Chains A and B, each alone.
Chain A
Amino acid sequence: MRILGIESSCDDTAAAVVVDGRHILSNIISSQLKEHAPFGGVVPEIAARKHVESIGEVIEKALTDAGLNYNQIDAIGVTARHGLLRSIVVGAAAGKALSLSLNVPLVGIHHIEGHIYSNILEHGDSIRFPHLCLTVSGGHTLLLLVHALDHYELLGRALDDAAGEVYDKIARYLDLGFPGGPIIDKLALEGNSTALDLPRPMLHDPGYDFSFSGLKTAVIRQIEKLQRAGTPIPLADVAASFQQAVVDVLIGRILRAATVYNLSTVTVCGGVAANRGLRSALAKLAESHSIEAFYPPLPLCTDNGAMIAGLAYHKIMSGAVSDLRLDAQANAPLGISGVIYK
């Protein structure tokens, strides 16, 4: 079954064609970075305007790259839940029009479920259930127990800023550019991760929640101290020390949950899953604790249409098809157990 997936929940306009939930024929992402960079963050109205301009081209390109024409598409998957409402509606409208035109089923997908699926899309049956999934992105830091596709249990979440958000805020504070994640990640390669003494918030607290805003404040305080002393800011050291603190907390939480729930499969997804520090720490954890750890390839970490198309296949197989009245929701519970994560 060839499914066209459409994703427009934030600032990337994306479309992809995936066969049977596993084989990616195309994966097109039109980034709006240039438009939002001057503002140091995503501006919803600008994002929505750009989506409507790009959506046609992105969908056409996804088909061309897949070597298909419209009539060879068997179903449409589209992000309908979670994100910026005025952005989601553009992709959702396009998906509905395609479903009507091609007379094929339409499936509305929850964006976060799409991220969770990105590892299954890539690694298939190697991902066993139940498994532990850390969804770590610009908007979220969630630790989930995944019982089955569509069945999630929330173990922990960010009580304030999400991990990706803190990367972005620190980068903005240091005038490094947007988004901050990849920039800080790169800088960290050259730095000394013990140069700054930073806290590991909540690492030893009971439960599995996260809090990164204190870490952000601690970083900013140390920078201010250096500025007052007239010392040039050692950007690479700041980046490496900050990144190490984030990674320590994320890995610490994963290890505790995996131990308590006796889980040997761990997945990490979302934009921050692209982080080199996190990926290598995860590999080390896997080796030292006989855990199988998975993360998606880079193009599947940040927002993409392939994860939406891939998950749509399973929804269709289980009969969860939407009708043309499908609505968009900025926030929606996750899965059959209705996990509230915000």
Chain B
Amino acid sequence: MKHLIVDTSTRQNWIALFEDDRMCGCLHFEDKQSCLINLTPGIRHLLDNAGWHIQQINRCSTVIGPGAWSSLRIGLATVKLLCMTNQIALTTLTSSQIIAGYAELMGVTSPTLLTALDAGGGKVYSAVFVWHQEGYQLVGADSWEVPRATALRAVDLTDLTIIGDGAQLLAPYKQAGWQFICQQPQADSRYLRYIAQSTLKYGQITYEHEAVISLKPLYVQPSSAEIEFKVQVT
């Protein structure tokens, strides 16, 4: 299976090609302005190097956020059209799933894992995962709330690892048996293999043609205009 992976959810943009488990090419760029400039040429470059044609791709995977708004949109608009024109199935992972993947790569195996992203405005974006046979699996829905609310929901979880740049916001509510990994996991190409494998192993959400067309990124919060407007109205 030929697999194209695109992750533009952070300031580090990654593109990779896999043939089943084997990475056939990978590149990344960092400049936050350059996602639009570099993404499509990057995909073409990797395809040319591998001697593949876009029509041979069987699956595309992408990270739908939450993350950097504009580059997420550039990434999603790009993979959407690639998938639509070539009838490629599109698999999406959330940023929370990516952080859980990093935890696995770091050797974390605690029974429960809470991924925590600093969502700005004093809020945390979090998701809970449980260790299941070979890796972490998401349980329940992601949430966006003040740290105290997250901590309250997690209060019954013992032997818990909290990971991500939002972990420090939860530190004041520390319980016995909670471990913290406060930094945002360092990006390196190993996580691309995680994306490729998790798609193969756990079958994250996969969209076929009709559903791909209307896909949108996952936003941490409404736009500030919407928030201000709601405040005015209420």
Q: Mark B30-52, 1 if CB is under 8 A from A, else 0.
A: 00000011111101100000000
Flag if A94 contacts B85 (CB, 8 Å): no
Q: Is the CB of B213 within 8 A of A57?
A: yes
Selected from A38, A39, A92, A99, the residue in CB contact (under 8 A) with B36 is: A92
- Name the residue in B40, B73, B212 with the highest tally of chain A Cβ atoms < 10 Å from its Cβ: B40
Bound complex: CA A323 to CA B38 (Å) = 11
> A45 contacts B77, CB within 8 Å?
no
Q: Say which residue of A38, A52, A99 sits within 8 Å of B216 (CB atoms).
A: A52
Contact of A325 among B41, B69, B80, B215 (CB under 8 A): B41
- B225 contacts A39, C-beta separation under 8 Å: yes
B56 within 8 A of A: no
The answer to whether the Cβ of B70 comes within 8 Å of any Cβ in the partner chain is yes
> For residue B34, which residue of chain A has the nearest CB?
A327
B224 at the interface (CB under 8 A from A): yes
Number of interface residues of A (CB under 8 A): 38
- Count chain B CB atoms within 10 A of each CB in A48, A90, A326 and give the residue with the most: A90
Which residues does chain B contribute within 8 Å of A99, judged by CB atoms? 40
> Which residues of B sit under 8 angstroms from A48, Cβ to Cβ?
69-70, 73
Whether the pair A97, B224 counts as a contact (CB closer than 8 A) is no
Interface check B86, CB cutoff 8 A? yes
Q: Once bound together, how far apart are the Cα atoms of A253 and B149, in whole Å?
A: 63
Q: CB within 8 A of A45: which of B69, B80, B213, B216?
A: B69
- Residues in B with CB closer than 8 Å to A51 are 73, 77
CA distance A38 to B222 in the complex (A): 15
* A59 located at the interface, meaning its Cβ lies under 8 Å from any Cβ of chain B in the complex: yes
* Chain A, interface SS category: helix
Using known A-B contacts A38-B229, A86-B70, A102-B85, determine if residue A55 contacts B216 with beta carbons closer than 8 Å: no
Q: How far is the CA of A99 from the CA of B144 in the complex (A)?
A: 38
Report the separation of the CA atoms of residues A60 and B84 in the bound assembly, to the nearest whole angstrom. 9
Q: Which of B43, B73, B84, B225 contacts A52 (CB 8 A)?
A: B73
Tell me if A23 counts as interface (CB < 8 A to partner B). no
Decide if B134 is an interface residue (CB 8 Å cutoff).
no
Which residues from 206 to 230 on chain B have a C-beta closer than 8 Å to any C-beta of chain A? Answer: 212-217, 219, 223-226, 229
A216 within 8 A of B: no
Q: Which residues in B have their C-beta under 8 angstroms from that of A92?
A: 36
Chain B interface, >50% SS class: helix
C-alpha spacing A4/B89, complex, angstroms? 24
Chain A 88-104: CB-based contact to B (< 8 A → 1; otherwise 0):
01111110111111100
The residue in chain A whose Cβ has the minimal distance to the Cβ of B224 is: A45
**Which of chain A's residues has its CB closest to B40's CB?**
A96
* Interface assignment of A56: CB less than 8 Å from any CB of chain B: yes
Give chain A nearest CB distance to B151 CB in angstroms: 30
B78 part of interface (Cβ distance < 8 Å):
yes
B81 at the interface (CB under 8 A from A): yes
By beta carbon, the residue of chain B nearest A46 is B223
The answer to whether B223 touches A45 (Cβ under 8 A) is yes
A70 within 8 A of B: yes
Residues A39 and B229 in contact, CB atoms below 8 Å apart: yes
A91 to B225, CA, bound (A): 22
Distance of A92 Cα from B77 Cα, bound (Å):
9
User: CB within 8 A of B73: which of A39, A93, A98?
Assistant: A93
Q: Contacts A43-B223, A53-B214 hold; do A86 and B69 have CB atoms under 8 A apart?
A: yes
Q: Is the CB of A94 within 8 A of B81?
A: yes
Q: B76 within 8 Å of A by Cβ? A: yes
Give bound CA distance, A299 to B205, whole Å.
Answer: 39
Beyond A39-B229, A86-B69, A102-B85, is A327–B37 a contact (Cβ under 8 Å)?
yes
In the complex, what residues of A have CB within 8 A of residue B224's CB? 45
Q: Decide if A324 is an interface residue (CB 8 Å cutoff).
A: yes
- Whether B78 pairs with A93 at a CB distance below 8 angstroms is yes
Residue of B38, B73, B77, B229 most packed against chain A (CB within 10 A): B77
Question: Which of A102, A323, A324, A326 is the most central at the interface, judged by chain B CB atoms within 10 Å of its CB?
Answer: A324
Q: Which chain A residues in 63-108 approach chain B with CB under 8 Å?
A: 70, 85-86, 89-94, 96-102
* Residues on the B chain within 8 Å of A100, using CB: 40, 43-44, 54, 82
How long is the Cα–Cα vector from A49 to B72 in the complex, in angstroms?
Answer: 10
30 contacts between A and B (CB under 8 A): A43-B225, A45-B69, A48-B70, A49-B219, A52-B77, A52-B216, A53-B214, A53-B215, A55-B80, A56-B80, A56-B215, A59-B84, A70-B85, A86-B69, A89-B73, A90-B77, A92-B36, A93-B77, A94-B80, A94-B81, A96-B40, A97-B81, A100-B43, A100-B54, A101-B82, A323-B41, A324-B41, A325-B38, A326-B37, A327-B36
Q: A43-B225, A94-B77, A94-B80 are in contact. List 10 more A-B contacts (CB 8 A).
A: A46-B226, A49-B216, A53-B215, A56-B213, A57-B213, A70-B85, A93-B39, A93-B81, A101-B85, A327-B36
